[in-house]
Structure 1
Amino acid sequence: MTACPALFISAPASGQGKTTLTAGLARLHRRLGRRVRVFKTGPDFLDPMILGRAAGTPVYSLDLWMVGEAACRQLLEEAAQTADVILVEGVMGLFDGTPSSADLAAAFGIPVAAVISAQSLAQTFGAIAFGLARFRPDLPFHGVLANRTGSPRHADMVRESLPSDIRWLGHVPADRHIELPDRHLGLVQANEIDDLEVRLERAADALAGTQLADLPPPVEFGHPAAAPRAARVPHLAGLRIAVARDDAFSFIYPANLDLLAALGAQIEYFSPLDDEPVPAHADALYLPGGYPELHAPLLARNHRSAASIRAHANAGRRIVAECGGMLYLLDSLTDKVGRTTPMLGLMPGDATLAARFVSLGMQQQHGRLGTLTGHTFHYSRLVTPLEPVGHAMHPVTHLRGEAIFHHGSIVASYMHAYWPSNPAFAASLFKDAPGELRATATGTAA
C-alpha cells in the first residue's frame, strides 16, 4: 500500500466556492514546492480545466459508479506513488447523489474539509457544520472553512458558533477577484478566463494563513490483495484517430484519451475553430462535446475545416460525436436568442438551445460487449427524422435515456461516455459500432 497526505474538499451545496478554493489550495501547495495531484468527483469537464491549471497536472474523474471503485482506487494509488499531496474536489453537496461525495470519501478514508459560504450567515454556520460532521459516523471529517466572510468580526462569529470538537480550518474573505466566472453548463473554461493566473494566485494567498496550508493527514491507498491493472488488448492497433480540440470542442476525459493510446490508436489533434482540416491520413474522427453554440458563426465560416470533415464522412470513415460534437454535424443550430446558424449538414436535424438544461444525469449503454457508463448534461433539444438504433438508460430508474444514432459512418449521441468503463465497447465505437449499438438496450420511456 502507498500512503500520501490527502484531503477531500466538499460543501453543503453547489455554489459554496469548492472549485475556487480547491484550485487555490492546489496552487498554494505547488508554490510551496509540493507535487500536487487533484481529482474531481463525478462527471465534469469544466472544473478539471481550472484545477489542472492550478496543479500543473491533468485532473482525472473519480466516481464510484461511472469510474468504478477498483479503478478509482487504482488512480489514487498511482497518484500517491509520486505526489506529495492529493486533493479531491467533491460534487454538489457532501451527501448529494447516489453515490455521493461522502460515499467516495468514506470508501477511501480521505478526510473531508467542508467549505461553507458564510455569506448571509452568522450562528447558523455552526448548525450546518454540525450536520455535515455528524450525519454519517463513518465519514472521516477533518474540519470546516468559512468562505466569503464579510469582516474579521463576521469570521469570529461563525467560528464561535462551532461545537468545540469540530476543527476550525480558517476563513477566506469575500473577494470578487478570486471568484471564478460561470455560465450555462458551469464555470467558464480555463482558457477563456484572461486573468485566471491572477485569480489562482490571489486564492492561494488567501489560503496561506489557514490550516489548509498544512499538509493533511496521510491516507493509505491500494489494497494488499488488489489485482494489478489488466493489460490492454490493442483493439485499435495502428488506427489513426483525429480529435477535435479547442474551446468549442473541449469536453474530453483525459482517461478516454489514455485509453485510446493504450488500445494502440495514434491520436492527432486539430481545431475547427482555427479552421484546421482533419488530418488527411485519419482513419476515424472524434468530435467531443463543448460549446459549439458559442462559436457557431465562426464554425460556419470555417470552410476548410468543414470541407475536410465532410470529405472524411463521404469517404465512409468513422465519426464518433458526443453532445456538442453531434450538434456540429446537424443541419442547423439555434441559440437562446433565436439566431439560427447552418452547421455541417452531415446528420439530418436541427437543435435549439433552451433557457435551462434539458437533460442531466448518469447514463449507461448496454450492448453485446457489456455496459458503457457515462452521463448527459445539455441545454439543447434535437429534432431529427433519424430513428435511433438504441437508447442509453438511467442506471437507477432504468428510464430510457439519450438516443444513440448511427447514420452512414457517424455514431452520435448526447451521452458523454467514460470509455475506460468498457474498453472493448469503446473500441467498437471506432470500428464495428453498428452491430454493437443495435444490441443496445432501449430501457423504459421516461
Structure 2
Amino acid sequence: MTTATIRGEAHAALITAPGSGQGKSMVTAALARLHRNSGRKVRVFKHGPDYLDPMVLEVASGQPVYQLHPWMTGEDECRWRLAEAAAEADLILVEGSMGLFDGDPSSADLAILAGLPALPVIDAWGMAQTFGAVAQGLANFHPELAIHEVIANRVGSPGHGKLLAGSMPTGLSLLGAIPRHAAMQIPDRHLGLVQAGELAGLDAQLDAAAEVLKAAGLDQLPGRVALEAEAPEPPSRLLEGVRVAVARDDAFAFLYRANLDLLERMGAKWCFFSPLTDSELPRCDALWLPGGYPELHAARLAANAPMLAAIRAHHGVGRPILAECGGLMACMETLVDSEENAHAMLGLMPGTARMAGKLTALGLQHMTTEVGELRGHTYHHSLLETPLEPAAHARRLAGSPAEPVYVEGALMASYFHGYFPSAPALVAAIFRGEPLRFTQN
C-alpha cells in the first residue's frame, strides 16, 4: 500500500527554556490564545510524556494537542503530525519539556529533527546582563539548532526589559519582555500544571494572559517553516466491534488523544464513564482505567458502591481491564492517601497503594511481548505493597527492569503508562483479553 505525502507551511517554533520552572507552559498557552484571538488557527504540541500541560493548551488553542517524542511516538510520527498541522494551521507551537537540552531525546533533538527554530523563555528574575550570556549559551550549544530570538519572563520593570535587550549578543534579539503578572500564574502539581477542569475562570485568565503578551510585543509571528512527511498506513482493524469503556473524571484523566484515536482506527467503539459519579458501567467488552489522581478522590470512589460492584462483576466474568498507574491504585484492596486515611478500593488485586509524599518513579520505559513493544513512561508518588508476583517488568531505556506488570485473569495493571500507537497489535490483544507472552522479565 502506498502512502500519501503531506506538505504544509506555517509559522512555527518550539517554545523552550533553560530548565523547568521558567514559565514556558503558561507562555505557550498565552501565545496560543493570543493568536487564536487574532483569528488564526493555532495547533499546539507537547514534547514528551505529559498529560497536564496539554489539557491547558487545548483550552488555549481550541484544538487537540498531541505528544511528540522521537523515541516514544517515533520520528516518523513526529514529522507526520507536524506536516499535517502545517497543511491546515496558521501557527504551530511545540512546548518543550524540562530544559532545552535535557533528556535523551531532548526538546532540542525534536526541533532539529523537524527543522523548527527554538524560542527560549528565560526567567529574568534576579538577572541583568547575565541574561544575554544565558541566551548566547543556549544559541551556541548545538550547531544544528536554530535560535534567533528569546523571551524574557518575570521582568521587574520596563527599565529591566531594556537592560535585558541591551545584553543580547550579535545575532540574537529579545522578542519580548513579559512582566510579572497574576494572569501568567497557574497552580502546579507534581511537576506540571493542575488539570484544566480544576481551574475556575481559565478561559478568562488565558484571555488576560494573551493581553499581557500583546502589550509585551509578543504578537509577532515566528518565521514560516515548510514541513513534509509520509502519512502512516492505517492500522489493521484488530478491534472491530469491541466496545471499550474509558474512565474519565477528576480521578482518572491521564489520556493521550493518540491512544483514543488508535482504538477508533482499529475498529473499537469507546465511550467515557465516571467511576466517581456513575452508578453503572456502559455496555462494554473491555475497561480502561487510566492514570489520574484517585488519591485525591478516594473517599468518593470508596463510597460509590454500585460502581465498585459493577467493575468487580466485569472482572469476575473474565472481561478485559487495563489499569494504568492511578487505575492500578484503584484496583488494590486499599488506598492510603497523603493524610494516612485508608480507603477500600476495588480489591481486584491484594495489597495496598500508599502515597509516599515524594516522587517515587520517573522516566521513559517500554514493555516487550511477542506481539510488539509498547513504549511509554512512568511517573508516580505512591508505592505498592502486594504479595502478587509480577508477570513481567517494563524496562528503562538503559535495559534495567523497572515497573512491575501484574496480570490477574483478564486484568493487566501497572504503573507504566503506554503510548498505544507504538504497538497496535499488543494494545488490541490487551483489550481482547488475549494471553500475553512477555519476552523480558
Q: TM-score, normalised by structure 2?
A: 0.96
2:201 is aligned with 1:198: no
Shift of 1:408: 1.8
Verify: 1:242 aligned to 2:245, yes or no.
Answer: yes
Which residue does 1:177 correspond to in 2? Answer: 183
Task: Give the superposition deviation at 1:337.
Answer: 2.3
> Quick one: distance in 1 between partners of 2:190 and 2:85?
32
Amino acid at match of 1:231: P
Q: In the TM superposition, what are the counterparts of 1:257-268 in structure 2 within 5 Å? A: 257-268=260-271
> Which whole-Å deviations, capped at 9, do the CAs of 1:43-78 have from their partners, x for residues lacking one?
000000000000011110000000000011111111
Contact 2:319 2:433 in 1 (8 A): no
Q: 1:423 to 1:229 in 2, by over 3 A?
A: same
Q: Label 1:269 to 1:276 Cα distance change in 2 as closer, same or farther (>3 A).
A: farther
Change (3 A) 1:221 1:348: same
Q: Deviations over 1:351-400 (max 9, x none)?
A: 111121100000001110121100000000001111111111011x1111
Partner of 2:65: 59
Displacement of 1:210: 4.2
The runs of 5 or more residues in structure 2 that have no matched partner are 1-6
The residue aligned with 2:364 is 362
Match of residue 135, structure 1, among 136, 141, 146: 141
Q: CA deviation at 1:151?
A: 1.1
Provide the residue aligned with 2:410 in structure 1.
409
Q: Which shows bigger deviation, 211-220 or 327-336?
A: 211-220
Report SS of the residue matched to 1:177: helix
The one-letter amino acid paired with 1:278 is: L
State the match for 2:3 in structure 1: none
Matched, 1:145 2:151: yes
Give, in whole Å, the separation in 1 of the partners of 2:107 and 2:354.
33
Equivalent residue in structure 1 for 2:195, among 189, 194, 200:
189
Q: Distance in 2 between matches of 1:231 and 1:297?
A: 43
Is the contact between residue 246 and residue 271 of structure 2 (CA under 8 Å) also seen in structure 1? yes
Give 1:318's aligned residue.
320
**One-letter amino acid of the structure 2 residue matched with residue 439 of structure 1:** F
2:8 touches 2:88 (CA, 8 Å); kept in 1? no
Counterpart check, 1:277 vs 2:245: no
Partner of 1:303: 305
TM-superposed CA distance for 1:186, in Å, is: 2.3
Q: Tell whether the 8 Å contact from 1:185 to 1:377 is kept in structure 2 after alignment.
A: no
Is 1:107 paired with 2:108? no
Paired amino acid for 1:308: A
Conserved? CA contact 1:365–1:372, under 8 Å: yes
CA distance in 2 between counterparts of 1:54 and 1:66 reads: 25
Counterpart CA distance in 2 for 1:231 and 1:49 is: 27
Question: Does 2:92 correspond to 1:89?
Answer: no
- Judged with a 3 Å threshold, the aligned counterparts in structure 2 of structure 1 residues 155 and 433 are, in CA distance, closer, same or farther, namely farther
- Counterparts of 2:196 and 2:104, CA distance in 1: 29
Aligned partner of 1:441 in structure 2 is 440
Q: 2:434 and 2:257 mapped to 1: Cα distance?
A: 22
Confirm or deny that 1:222 pairs with 2:225.
Answer: no
Structure-2 change in CA distance of 1:69 and 1:212 (3 Å): farther
Please tell me whether residue 122 in structure 1 is matched to residue 124 in structure 2.
no
How many residues in Structure 1 have an aligned counterpart in Structure 2? 435
1:142 and 1:254 map into 2 onto residues whose CA distance is 32
CA distance in 2: counterparts of 1:204 and 1:166, whole angstroms:
24
Distance 2:56 2:237 in 1: 33
| Alpha-carbon distance in structure 2 between the residues aligned to 1:235 and 1:195 | 42
Contact 2:374 2:419 in 1 (8 A): yes
Which range is displaced more, 267-276 or 14-23?
A: 267-276
Provide Cα deviations, 1:212-257, integer angstroms capped at 9, x if missing partner.
312221111114xx4x311221100000000001111000000000
- Distance of aligned partners of 1:292 and 1:440 in 2 relative to their CA distance in 1, 3 Å threshold: farther
What secondary structure, in the 3-state scheme, does the structure 1 residue paired with 2:218 have?
helix
TM (norm. structure 1) is 0.95
The CA distance in 2 between the partners of 1:106 and 1:441, in whole Å, is 33
Q: How far apart, CA to CA, are the structure 1 residues paired with 2:411 and 2:192?
A: 28
Whether the aligned pair in 2 keeps the contact of 1:119 and 1:149 (CA below 8 Å) is yes
Q: Distance in 2 between matches of 1:142 and 1:109?
A: 14
8 Å contact kept, 1:270–1:276: no
Structure 1: stretches of 5+ with no match in the other structure: none
> 1:433 deviation in Å?
4.2
1:276 Cα deviation from its structure 2 partner:
3.9
Q: Which amino acid aligns with 2:388?
A: L
Whole-angstrom CA distance in 1 between matches of 2:196 and 2:354: 26
2:238 counterpart SS class: coil
**Whole-angstrom distance in 1 between the partners of 2:153 and 2:439:** 46
Question: What displacement does 1:177 show?
Answer: 3.2
Three-state SS of the structure 2 residue aligned to 1:376 is strand
Aligned to 1:427: 428
Tell me if 1:334 matches 2:336. Answer: yes
2:26 is equivalent to residue 20 of structure 1: yes
User: Is the CA contact (8 Å cut-off) linking 2:245 and 2:271 kept in structure 1?
Assistant: yes
What is the alpha-carbon distance in structure 2 between the residues aligned to residue 167 and residue 120 of structure 1? 20
Deviates most, 375-384 or 185-194: 185-194
Comparing 231-240 and 212-221, the one that deviates more: 212-221
2:183–2:206: 8 Å Cα contact kept in structure 1? no
1:340 CA displacement: 1.3
| Distance across 1 between alignment mates of 2:179 and 2:411 | 51
Alignment match of 1:293 (pick from 292, 295, 302)? 295
Structure 2 counterpart of 1:24, which letter? A
1:264 maps to a residue whose letter is G
- 2:98 matches 1:98: no
User: For residues 117 and 185 of structure 1, what CA distance do their matches in structure 2 show?
Assistant: 17
